[in-house]
Structure 1
Amino acid sequence: MQILDGDRYAGAAAAEHVRRITLPAVRGRIVDDRGRPLVRNRTAMTVTVDRAALGRLPDDGRAVLERLARVLGRPRAELSGRLRICGPETGRPCWAGSPYEPIPVAEGVAERTALQIVERPEDFPGVAAVPQPVREYPQGGLAAHLLGYLAPDDTPGRGAGGTSLVGRDGLEASYEADLSGRAGSREIVVDSTGQVLRTLREQRPQAGATLVTSIDAKVQAVVEKALERAVERARGRGAPADSAAAVVLDVRTGRVVAMAGHPSYDPDVWTGGIAQDDYERLTGAGHGSPLVPRAIQGQWPPASTWKVVSTAAAVADGHDFHGRYDCSGSYRIGDRSFRNFGGVAHGTMDLHRALVVSCDTIFYRFAHEMWREDERSGRPAEPVQRMARAFGFGAPTGVDLPGEAAGRVPDRAWKRSWWERTRERTCADARTGYPETARTDPARAAYLKAIAAENCTHGHVWTAGDTANLSIGQGDVLVTPLQLARAYAALANGGTLYSPRVGKALVDADGRVVRTITPPATGRLPVSGRTLSAIREALADVPRSGTAAAAFAGFPFDELPVAGKTGTAEAYGEKDTSWFASFAPADEPRFAVVVVVSEGGSGGEAAAPAAREIWSGIYGLEGRRAALPGGRLSARLPDLTREAR
């Protein structure tokens, strides 16, 4: 048997002594559209332990780990945990790589600490301190929500080794396959004690590609500073202003020029592994949940910024844009009076003026007529909802970032589905009321109980009031800042709806363009060119003489005509949420800018002044230095052989 199967047994024995080690690749950089580095690699000292070497010591290396823990200032149990080999019965932390490669137990170690280890090999057998690349953020916390972060790869079966870090959010996650490169490998022969005898073969790793983005770092800085100041001003007026977000889009291409959320954080907190208290601070609601990218995940009712949708729907339904309509102080539907903002009556006007002064009652009347027609027909057409979906609302934009919210366009089907899911709880609230709220706020408790009673019995019915609320961007409709920016970009560019992109190109280490990333056109607005032009002309008057006039008082419109629409989203028991959606130059649009300040006040109070600051920062107006002189973006890919300033 030994003679007949000798070759097979000899091969099996040899295979048992051949071990494969993964050689990690250098991760690609992320730069802005002019080559300014947003994320790059730097060298940091990493302490590693040779598990096999410790195993050959009389005490299995316990004394070495005790000394190492004291030098590093970490518990010995933490180091021991990192040395455990991952398996079905092994919890985290553990090592997912080969037991024959050095296992990292501490990253980002100070050089002085590393020298204490290197200079005393007799005290630290099997321990090494080696330089390894880690992520560095030369712009600090700039664009943190866009960039994302890295975390250890714990995907079963990937075989990349426990040293492997993978993108967990933002661009780092979306372009993981391109940024991570290709790991190499080394096959070694070891003896029965684990001692390396020789190297059989080696495949060198391939570095990851550099991701060139459409982000302009200077515009991004302008946007983030404007959001920070908007929140500060709102809080100074007594508003909670718990969060904010802003987006700048190139309306001609669909590329993202800047995108920010507030509060934010410094992504360097992830380097070397995040501490538990830092993680709780980033994810805790008590700290504002700074990890949440609100530009794509924040959802609010859009308020009057939505009236461009309702206007398009009304015109498509047969109403003349230049017809005359009564902007009364209130409009009655059933037993409820729907009031204009502040109860003000503006008299008779066309839709141009209705957008400028943001008249609600004209849109209530249109909505009521549409609802009655739907009820008569028995086959509801739901014109406002249909137009909203054509503008891209109610579905993700498809941006190249993970975790995007879909927003919501409520309709009859949604309302019935929601009622069926929540009926049991709603009816219970109708019976018992809100005893805890009643102790502190009896009026609010009574209001909530009345609403619960109504929803318990009739919550599945889509009413005329629902359509009225929807027509002015209130009620159950929700949008993200990016969705609104995309819709206004389509309005500005003549009707093309793009799926936005942050990535612009991928370039390999030799400077070769691996792939160009182009935002795809995903649809056309079902709105005539004449109507789009009329809406744009109306929006151009909003900052000059309409609801944003106070926020734009003294603005140099002769240098940059800005068109836009304010929005003030109201919610019972909460402060108003402030919106401003805009594009410029109004006569030849290039960029769309959208700002939202949650619970920040009216649209003209918080969001519009922030948008003004962004426009001035982009074009260099009102004594500011231009982030984009002449509003010109980079026309070509940057030279990545040198870093741009």
Structure 2
Amino acid sequence: MTNIPETGKSTRVTVRLVGIQVLVLSLLLTLGGRLWYLQIRNGDEYEAEAAGNHVQQVIEPAVRGSILDSRGEPLADNETRLVVSASRTDLMKMDDDGEAILTKLADVLGMDPDTVMERVRLCDAKTPKPCWNGSPYQPIPITDEATARQALQIRERAEEFPGITAEPSAVRRYGSPNDANTAQVLGYLSPVTDEEIAGAEDSDNPLLRTDQIGRSGLERSYDSELRGQAGVTSYRVDKLGRVIGEADKQPGVPGSNLVTSVDSRVQALAEVELEKAMEKARTEFDDNTGTNYKADSGAMVVMEADTGRIVAMASNPSYDPNDWVGGIDSGTYKRLTGKKANYPLLNRAIQGQSAPGSIFKPIPTAAAVNAGYDFDGSYECSSDYSIGGQVFKNFESQSYGAIGLGRALEVSCDTVYYRLAHQEWQNDGGIKPKKKPDDWFYKTAHQFGLGAETGVDLPNEVTGRVPDRQWKKDYWRANKDAWCKQGEKDGAYAERIAYENCREGMQMRAGDSVNYSIGQGDTLVTPIQMATMYAALANGGTLYQPTVGKAIVSADGKKVDVIEPKAHGKLPMDKETRVAMDEALAGVATRGTAAWRFGGWPQNEIPMHAKTGTAEVYGKQTTSWFATYTEDYAIVMTMSQGGTGSGASAPAVRAVYDALYGVGDKKKALLPEPEKKLPKISPDGRIEAR
């Protein structure tokens, strides 16, 4: 065997290592060159190709939950319609921004071209409504009333209508069961905005560009429960739009259903009776102004006394919530938001505020007792009461002599309350109040819940106003400069008032307290506040937070969340005072100011309690108020520029009570006692109407 020298072996190993190194270096150079070729020389080309492969989301909107009345009748649900939509992104790529396409589309749909253009323009600070306030990347609905023939024309001639789609889609429907409009309670929907999408990104229920959300009423208050969650499937697609795989899938969750305490039969009756009362008032002559009453707006609230649940809530003028479905045209929008129609979008049951007049008097009655006055004491009911040189008249200048507080409530004697309020004002120091005045009359109003929201589950409730010392000071600071500029000591009436306010507007004057004691002056209340107060008088003194929602039921019916009544206070009176006041308010209906409206009422079987109110408003005709309760319900009605409480509002309230209890024919009673049960829920989740 031949032996190879050690030096020879070493040389061969070295050559091999050098060869391997050269090979590795060559591979690295080749790889580097290829990377340079792909990323530098042809980088833009390949980046463009890679960009063509992306993820496309397909969104399946969730079915919005229904809103049902207490018996299961749908107040708001969904129906399938043919919806024609436009892609603004596609239209903006055209030389004329899609004007020719939209004009041709208007011809097919039988619509005015300007109306179609309005619906696709984006809302901003300079663009008048109607306009699209949703995402510009979302298909914009042109109409949800397309016929099958119109939709077929658009789809068969797709090349003539680029960016236009015609698809069946679920849209909101407000069905008005039993002819109950319920518009202000239900509210309406409109598209989500980019700002709202961004604001909800980190929430439990983020918004998508295809979502519609509630803008008012129950649609807004319970939007997250009703809306559900849309299903989103993400697909990987290439630059040609071909699907190359599924990236992710999130199944949708249908919205829950909302069962309300509203009875659509009672709601319809309240709306009809309110409208009839307003029409009747417009035929009545107002001696104070020399014209007929205008009766320009009104509201009625029917509330369960023991729970605060709303059985009916009517507001007039009203509107059709279906006007908002599928987009609203400019003419309708102007009508709904204009002064000429007197702003029908307002829910006057929770947003209409005015002086309450004499339905306020249970408050100063309780205040007087709390201040140490005897409920059964003797108080002079004269035809007028003078303070300084100013004379304050009793209503219709009637005198009843010496009477107790109960009788003062029955006959609505103003001068009894004038005297009590003036005396308490003096006890607190008058113009120069003591350091800590008792302010019983103002303190008691706050304890009754006035000057604050009731907490009703509807948006945009207003607080009303208790014109106490703090309010006087704040109001004076806000208006002092204007008063001082306008005021003149010897000028016209308005200028003299401005002069006095400039100098003394921060002071609680005797006249302020006297006017306040009968629900006049600067006092403002809402119908929902007064209904809550009278319901508390009925139930023993508990102030409940009013609610319209009664239960939230999942789409499959397996989860039912009952919205329990919530108390937020007690009336500031002892049981003895409440019982005495209860008897007095029953006397209003049997021998007092409302007795002539309750002839034939079964008082022994269903005790009725009432209080009339006629509030004076500077520059306007009197506001009519009528507040009532039985052991089951409290009903309050008001009518702006409608006349007296017993004359204008009482007949409508009496008609609702007659129907509730079936007075004259018990078999026809709509709701002789409040509905306690929920509608029947079937195994598949459907809520069955009774």
Find the residue that maps to 2:343 and give its secondary structure. Answer: coil
SS at match of 2:144: strand
TM-superposed CA distance for 1:610, in Å, is 1.7
- 1:69 and 1:279 mapped to 2: Cα distance? 20
* Per-residue deviation, 1:281: 1.0
Give the secondary structure class of the aligned counterpart of 1:26. Answer: coil
Q: Distance in 2 between matches of 1:94 and 1:285?
A: 24
CA distance in 1, matches of 2:243, 2:592: 78
Match of 1:337, SS state, is strand
The verdict on how the C-alpha distance between 1:110 and 1:428 changes in structure 2, with shifts beyond 3 A counting, is farther
Measure the CA separation in 1 of the matches of 2:617 and 2:100.
63
Q: Distance in 2 between matches of 1:86 and 1:583?
A: 47
1:620 aligns with 2:662: yes
Counterpart in the other structure of 2:65:
28
Whether the 8 Å contact between 1:340 and 1:359 is mirrored in structure 2 is: yes
| Distance change >3 Å, CA 510–CA 417, structure 1 → 2 | same
Q: Normalised by the size of structure 1, how large is the TM-score?
A: 0.89
Instruction: List runs of 5+ in structure 1 lacking aligned partners.
Output: 435-445
* 1:46 counterpart = 2:83: yes
CA contact (8 A) 2:410 2:591 kept: yes
Matches of 1:360 and 1:460 in 2, distance apart? 26
SS in 2 for 1:211: strand
Shift of 1:95: 8.7
Measured against aligned partners, the alpha-carbon deviations of 1:266-303 in whole angstroms (never above 9, x if no partner) come to 11111111111111111212112111100000001111
After superposition, where does 1:342-381 map in structure 2 within 5 Å? 342-375=396-429, 377-381=434-438
* Secondary structure of 2:253's aligned partner: coil
Query: Is 1:250 aligned to residue 319 of structure 2?
Result: no
Residue identity (%): 46
State the secondary structure of the residue aligned to 1:289: coil
Residues 583-616 of structure 1: per-residue CA shift (max 9 Å, x gap)? 01xxxx1110101111111111112222111111
Q: Is the 8 A contact 1:219 1:627 kept in 2?
A: no
* 3-state SS of 1:156 partner: helix
- Quote the residue 1:153 is aligned against: 192
Contact 1:300 1:478 in 2 (8 A): yes
Q: Given the alignment of the two structures, is residue 338 of structure 1 paired with residue 338 of structure 2, yes or no?
A: no
SS at match of 2:599: coil
Partner of 1:442: none
Q: C-alpha separation between the residues in 1 aligned to 2:395 and 2:372? A: 26
Larger mean CA deviation between 510-519 and 530-539 belongs to 510-519
Q: State whether residues 499 and 521 of structure 1, in contact with CA within 8 Å, keep that contact through their aligned partners in structure 2.
A: yes
Alignment map for 1:122-137 (pairs within 5 Å): 122-124=159-161, 127-137=164-174
Q: Residues 52 and 138 (structure 1 numbering): CA distance in 2 closer, same or farther, change over 3 Å?
A: closer
Shift of 1:80: 7.3
Tell me the CA shift for residue 542 of structure 1. 0.4
CA distance in structure 1 between the aligned counterparts of 2:517 and 2:99, rounded to whole angstroms: 70
Q: For the structure 1 residues 58 and 349, does the alpha-carbon distance in structure 2 shift closer, same or farther, using more than 3 Å as the test?
A: closer
Residue 594 (structure 2) pairs with residue 567 (structure 1): no
Question: What is the CA-CA distance between 1:57 and the residue it aligns to?
Answer: 9.7
Alpha-carbon offset, residue 59 of structure 1 = 9.9
| Cα distance in structure 1, aligned partners of 2:394 and 2:115 | 63
Aligned-pair CA distance for 1:491? 1.3
Instruction: Name the CA shift for 1:83/1:632 in 2 (closer, same or farther; >3 Å).
Output: closer
Which residue does 1:635 correspond to in 2?
677
Equivalent residue letter for 2:192: D
Query: Shift of residue 329 of structure 1?
Result: 1.3
Give 1:644's aligned residue. Answer: 689
Secondary structure at 2:471 match in 1: helix
Q: 1:161: how far off?
A: 4.2
Query: Which of 249-258 and 505-514 deviates more?
Result: 505-514
Tell me the number of residue pairs that the alignment of Structure 1 and Structure 2 aligns: 628
Task: Confirm whether residue 296 of structure 1 aligns to residue 336 of structure 2.
Answer: no
Matches within 5 A, 1:172-321: 172-194=219-241, 196-237=243-284, 238-321=292-375
> Which structure: larger Rg?
2
- Which moves more between the two structures, 484-493 or 42-51? 42-51
The correspondence of residues 14-93 of structure 1 with structure 2, limited to 5 A, is 17-49=54-86, 64-74=101-111
Contact 1:494 1:532 in 2 (8 A): yes
* 1:505/1:513 contact within 8 Å kept: no
CA distance in 1, matches of 2:98, 2:347: 45
Structure-2 separation of matches of 1:388 and 1:88: 42
Structure 2: how far apart are the matches of 1:324 and 1:462? Answer: 27
Q: What letter corresponds to residue 251 of structure 1 in structure 2?
A: A
Where 2:533 maps in the other structure, the secondary structure is: helix
Q: 1:79 to 1:543 in 2, by over 3 A?
A: closer
Deviation at 1:193, TM superposition (A): 4.9
The answer as to 2:148 corresponding to 1:111 is yes
Deviation at 1:62?
Answer: 7.3
State the 1:198 CA deviation. 4.7
How far did 1:123 drift? 3.8
Residue of structure 2 in register with 1:399 after alignment: 456
Q: 1:532 to 1:72 in 2, by over 3 A?
A: same
Which amino acid in the other structure matches residue 166 of structure 1?
Answer: I
**C-alpha deviations, 1:330-382, integer Å up to 9, x for none?**
12222212221122111111111111001111111111111111116332121
- Corresponding residue for 2:597? 551
Q: Secondary structure at the match of 2:620?
A: coil
Separation in 1, partners of 2:567, 2:91? 59
1:603 maps onto 2:645 in alignment:
yes
Cα pair distance change 1:632/1:234, threshold 3 Å: same
Q: 2:378 matched to 1:324? A: yes
